[in-house]
Amino acid sequence: MTRHNPDQQLLHDYKRRAKREQRLVFAWQIVLLVSFLSLWELASRMNWVDPLIFRSPADIYHMLTEKLTNGTMLTHMQVTLLETIASFLIGTILGIVMASILWFSERLTRIMDPYLVVMNAMPKVALGPIIIVAIGPGYVSIITMGAVISAVVTTLIVHTAFREVNQNYINVLKSFKASRGQIFKEAVLPAAIPAMISTLKINVRLSWIGVVVGEFLVSREGLGYLIVYGVHVFDFSLVIASLILIALSAALMYKFVEQIEKMLLKHSSNSF
């Protein structure tokens, strides 16, 4: 049987070693989490830290289960998630469109260069109050904020990727007398897909920042609002519970984008 094949045997051993390593890593991760939580609980109970501010894991757990079962937390979470996804999509698409426009006109690129540098260097969350005043309080201005933050970075990264496409690909198309539009469609856009996907990952983070800060500034709903509200009424278990939900959903979204990346990069990653 295959077991007697020495190669198979070696492969089997290799797999077993890899699996053991994986299990060990996982065990350590659990140990770290459990010890952190129990230390926190202990510190809170023994009054090593102020229990009014830092609460205890048990408190937060009760709070989370209660709020999630009666549905109040879910509506807030839904609002924030929708806002984030919307600003992520709008920001990414807007950035790619702007990068494409810049690619089509080199002169426009040179004209826009200083403005892009300033826009990139400036912390976009500082625009928050102005956006809210201009658009009016509500989820539209929150989405706009998330979108603006990710659009500028996307424009810069994708435009750089467009410009760094291997000139020889373009030359091959030029020898067939391709128009600039055809060059863009056949060579530049597909070659820049890896860069676009890496901006997706960046944009997940940036749109979360935009949306949470937007909710801090103005809103009646959402996890960011809950954090501000919790601080105001001194309910810190609410603050920490919202924080945990934000962290978990952001991580999930990030993982989701990573899966898309793996799917799309099968044939375009090598030979660049």
Partner 1 sequence: MKEKWMQYPAAGRSPQWRPVFLLAGYSVFFSPNSCLWALTHFLLQHRMNKTMRYAEGLESSENVLYFLNELLERRLGLSQGPKEVDQMALLTLNQVTHHYFTKNDYTKTLDNITFSIDEGEFITLLGPSECGKSTILSIIARIIGHTDGAIYVNGSPLPEADPDIGYMPQQDYLFPWKTILDNVLIGPKIRHDQSEETKEQAIQLLDHVGLSKMTDVFPDSLSNGMRQRAAFIRALIINPKILLLDEPFAALDYQTKLKLEDLVQDLLRYYQKTSILVTHDIGEAIAMSDRIIVMDANPGSIVKTFEVPLELRDETPFLVQRHPKYQLLFDKIWRQLDKDKSIPSQSKVVSPYDKT
- Could you tell me the smallest distance in angstroms from the CB atom of residue 170 to partner 1? 8
Q: Tokens in use for 271?
A: 């030979």
Among 2, 47, 70, 168, binds partner 1 (CB under 8 A): 168
Q: Which of 175, 233, 259, 263 binds partner 1 (CB under 8 A)?
A: 175
φ, ψ of residue 23 to 5 degrees: the values are -65, -40
DSSP state letter for 122? S
Which conformational region is residue 55 in: left (phi greater than 0), alpha (psi within -120 to 50 degrees), or beta?
left
Residues 179-218 interacting with partner 1 (rule: CB under 8 A): 182, 186-187, 190-191, 193
The answer to whether the beta carbons of residues 149 and 91 sit under 8 Å apart is yes
Helix axes 128-135, 139-163, angle to 10 degrees: 120
Stretch that binds partner 1, among 110-118, 155-163, 171-179, 206-214 (CB under 8 A): 171-179
Measured at the CA of 253, the angle between CA 62 and CA 73, to 5 degrees, comes to 30
Residue 113 binds partner 1, judged by CB under 8 A: no
The nearest distance, CB 158 to partner 1, in angstroms, is 17
Minimum CB separation of residue 179 from partner 1 in Å reads 8
Give contact residues for partner 1 (rule: CB under 8 A): 166, 168-169, 171-178, 182, 186-187, 190-191, 193, 267-268, 270-271
